[in-house]
A and B are shown apart, each in its own frame.
Chain A
Amino acid sequence: MTFIELGSGSPDLSYRQRASHVIALAFAVFALVIGYNLRNTGLFSTTRYENVEAGIRAEYPRNWLFDNQGDYVFRVRNMTRVGFKTTIQVELRPVGAAGSTRSILDAISLERFQSLAAYQVINVDASTPLADDIESVTMAYTYADTDRDPFLQSIPTVVRGVDILAVRGGQVVIITFLADATTFESDYAFFERFLSGLEFR
Chain B
Amino acid sequence: MTSFTPRLLTPPREKEDIYPYRRVWRSIILEGGILIAIAAGLFLTSGFITDLIPVQFEPVLRIALALTPLVLWLIFSWWAEQRVMQPRARLIAVAVIGALAANAVGEPLINQFFQVEDWLPLSSAIDRIVGYTFTVGITQEFLKYLVVRYVAWPDHFRIRLDGVAYGVAVSIGYVTVLNLHLLVNTPVALDVAAQRVVATYAIQIATSVVIGYGLSEVRFSDPNPLFLALMLALAALITGIAIPIRAGLTNAAFSLEGVFPRPLFGFGFSAVLLVIPIFVGSFLFASAERRAQEAMSDMEDSI
Contacts and interface: CB of A to CB of B under 8 A. Distances in A.
A106 to B, nearest CB: 36
A24 B293 contact: no
A2 B293 contact: yes
Interface of B: 17, 19, 113-123, 127, 130-131, 134-135, 138-139, 142, 145, 149, 154-159, 218-220, 222-229, 232-233, 236, 289, 292-293, 296
A132 B116 CA distance: 34
B223 A16 contact: yes
Contacts of B145: 24, 28
Interface in A74-133: 78, 80
Given A4-B159, A43-B118, A19 B225 contact: yes
A80 B289 contact: no
Given A23-B229, A27-B232, A28-B232, A5 B223 contact: no
B44 to A, nearest CB: 28
Q: A3, A16, A23: which has the most chain B beta carbons within 10 Å?
A: A3
A36 B134 CA distance: 8
B222 A38 contact: no
Nearest to A6: B158
Given A1-B19, A17-B222, 4 more contacts: A4-B292, A20-B218, A35-B134, A38-B135
A3 B155 contact: no
A63 interface: yes
B134 A38 contact: yes
Nearest to A64: B122
A182 B19 CA distance: 56
A184 B289 CA distance: 56
B229 A80 contact: no
A4 B293 CA distance: 7
A38 B240 CA distance: 14
Contact of A23 (B117, B139, B142, B225): B225
Given A20-B223, A42-B123, A80 B118 contact: yes
B225 A27 contact: no
A81 to B, nearest CB: 8
Q: Is the interface of A mostly helix, strand, loop or mixed?
A: helix
Interface residues of A, number: 37
A8 B117 contact: no
A190 B296 CA distance: 62
Nearest to A11: B154
Contacts of A55: none
B67 to A, nearest CB: 26
A10 B119 contact: no
Q: B113, B134, B155: which has the most chain A beta carbons within 10 Å?
A: B134
A21 B159 contact: no
Contacts of B123: 42
Given A9-B155, A20-B223, A39 B119 contact: yes
9 contacts: A1-B19, A4-B159, A4-B293, A9-B155, A23-B225, A26-B229, A31-B134, A42-B123, A80-B117
A35 B114 contact: yes
A69 interface: no
Contacts of A28: 138, 142, 145, 229, 232
